[in-house]
Amino acid sequence: MKKFWLLALILMLTVLAACGGGEDTEESGGSESEGEQSEESADESRSVTIEDAMGEKTIEGTPKKVVVLEWTYAEDLQALGMEPVGVAGLDSYGDWVDVGIPFSDSVKDVGTRAEPNLEAISRLDPDLIIGVKFRHEGIADKLESIAPTVMFSPYSEEAAQDQYKNMIDEFNTIAKVVDKEDKAEEVLNNMEQTFKEQQERLKEADKDEMDYVITQAFTSQNTPTLRLFTDNSIVAKVMNKMGMNNAYESDKLEVYGYTSTTVETLQNYQDANFFYIVQEEDNIFTNQLKGNPAWENLKFVKENRTYKMPGDTWTFGGPLSAEVLAKQVVDAAVKEK
C-alpha cells in the first residue's frame, strides 16, 4: 500500500513537472522526463468529474500526456488539437484510420490494443489513459495505478442503441477531461457543416433521397463476407443525416452496428443503391464474385447502381472520421460511372 502511494506521489510530481515544462515548448514526449523538474503549473487545482463505463470518476489537473489504447480516441484527441504520447497498435493505425493528421515521430507504440504493454505505458509516464472496457477491463487496476484511466464501453447494449450519439458523448467527455470543450464544440459544428455541404452536393446531383445499403466487404475464411450496416451505426446515421435512407434493417439490435452476412442476403435489397467499402487488395467484388451469376444478376449490379468507397474508410471513428465518411459517400454517389 505504501508503495502505491509512493508511486502515486512520484507520478503526480512528474505530471506537474511535465505540465510546467510543456507550456512553451510543445513537445516533451520523446525525452526522458524525470530529469526536468521545474516549477509547478498553474492549473493544478482544476478537477473534472465525468461518467465513464466504470462509473463516476474525478480527474485532477489537466492531462497533457495521454496514452490511448483504442484508435477512435486517438483520433478524438487529434481532433481536439492534441497528440497522444502513446498509442496501442500504432503501426496499423494508418491502414484503417485516415483523418489527414499523421502522428509525429515522438508518438510511441505501446503494444497491441488487446494486450497493451504496461511497462511501455508506465515509461511514458502519462497523466491520462483512455481505454475500452471490453478489452481493458481486466487490467483496469493496473492502468489506474499508472495514471487516471477513462474507460469507455462503445459496444454495450446501451451505447449500441445509437452509436453516433455515443461517439459524440465520448468525444465531449474526452474534451471535458483535457479541458478543450471550446475546441470540441468547434469540431462538432464543423462536422455538422460538412454534412450540410455534402448534402448540398447530393442535391445538386439529385441523389439526396436515395435508398441505400452500405457494406464493408472483405474475405474472411476464404469467403466473401459482408458487413451490412444497421441504422444504429455511425455510418448509417451520417448517411441518413444527409437525407439518404437505409434499406437494410436487422430484426435484432446489432451491437457493432452491422450484420455479418454473405452475398446471398443482398437479394432482398436489389432495389436499393449499393455502397461498398473494400480494400483494394481484397476486393471481393472483382476477385471472387466476378462472373458469379448470383452476384452479376443482382438488380443493382445490372443497373450499375454500385458505389465503391476507399478501403481506409473508418466506420468506427470520431467526428473527423465521420466527416471523411460523409465526403467519401458523396464522392462515390455523384461520381459518374
Partner 1 sequence: MNATFRNTMIAVLTFGGGTALLCLLTFIHINQGNVEIPLGTVVDALMNPKDTIQHHTVRILRLPRAVMGIIAGGALAASGVILQTVTKNPLSSASTLGIHSGTYFAVVVTTIFFPFAMFANGIATAFIGGITTFAIVYLLSGAGNATPVRMVLAGMIVTFLFSSLTSVLQIFYENETQGLFLWGSGTLVQNNWDGVQFSLPLVALGLVIAFGFANKLDTLTLGDDVATALGQNVRTVKFISILAAVLLTSVTVSIVGPIGFVGLVAPHLIKLIGYRSHIPLLIGSALWGGNVLLGADVLARIIDPSFSELPVGAITALIGSPWLIWLVLRMKQEGNNQETGSVMAGKASANLSLWKVTPVLGIIILLTLFVSMASGNYGFEPIVAYDALFGQSNEFIKNFILNLRLPRALVALFSGAILAVSGLIFQGVLRNPLADPSVIGITSGAGVGALMTMFVFSVSTFWIPVGAMVGALIFFLIVMALGAKAEFQPTVLALLGIGISAFGSAIIQILVVQSDLGVASALTWLSGTTYAKGWAELLQYLIWPVILFIPLLVFYIKTLDVLSLGDDTAKGLGLRVRSVRFQMALIATLLAACSVAAVGSIGFVGLIAPHVARLLVGSANQKLLPVTMLLGGFLLIIADLFSRTLLAPNEIPSGILVALIGAPYFLWLMKKRAS
**Residue 266, C-alpha cell as written in the block:** 443482398
Give me the least distance between CB of 323 and partner 1, in Å please: 28
CB of 252 to partner 1, least distance (A): 8
Rg (CA), the chain: 22
Q: How far is the CB of 330 from partner 1 (least distance, A)?
A: 30
Point out which span in 76-84, 214-222, 307-315, 329-337 binds partner 1 (CB under 8 A).
Answer: 214-222
> In DSSP terms, which residues pair with 259 in a beta bridge?
228
Residue 304 DSSP one-character state: T
Inter-residue contact 228 to 258 (CB < 8 Å): yes
**In the bound complex, what is the minimum distance in angstroms from residue 179's beta carbon to partner 1?**
26
Residue selected from 48, 96, 112, 179 as contacting partner 1 according to rule CB under 8 A: 112
Environment class of 31 (CB within 10 Å of its CB; exposed 0-12, middle 13-18, buried 19+): exposed
Contacts to partner 1 from residues 267-286, by CB under 8 A: 267-268, 270
> Residue 249, interface with partner 1 (CB under 8 A)?
no
Tell me if 111 contacts partner 1 by CB under 8 A. Answer: yes
Scanning 57-65, 208-216, 222-230, 313-321 for contacts with partner 1 by CB under 8 A, the matching segment is 222-230
Position 117 contacts partner 1 (CB under 8 A)? yes
In degrees, to the nearest 5, what angle opens at C-alpha 97 toward C-alphas 175 and 246? 90
Residue 62 to residue 128: CA distance in whole angstroms: 9
Residue 307, SS3? strand
Q: Which stretch binds partner 1 (CB under 8 A): 58-66, 98-106, 138-146, 307-315?
A: 138-146
Binding flag, residue 253, partner 1 (CB under 8 A): no
Backbone angles phi, psi at 152, to 5 degrees: -100, 165
CB-CB contact of 148 with 128 (8 Å): yes
Residue 219 touching partner 1 (CB under 8 A): yes
Distance, in Å, from the CA atom of 324 to the CA atom of 337, rounded to the nearest integer, reads 21
Phi, psi values for residue 273, rounded to 5° = -90, 140
Least distance from partner 1 to the Cβ atom of residue 51, Å = 18
Question: Residues interacting with partner 1, by CB under 8 A?
Answer: 3-4, 6-7, 10-11, 14, 34, 109-112, 114-120, 122-123, 125, 134-135, 137-139, 141-142, 145, 155, 219-224, 255-256, 259-265, 267-268, 270, 288-289, 292-294, 297-298
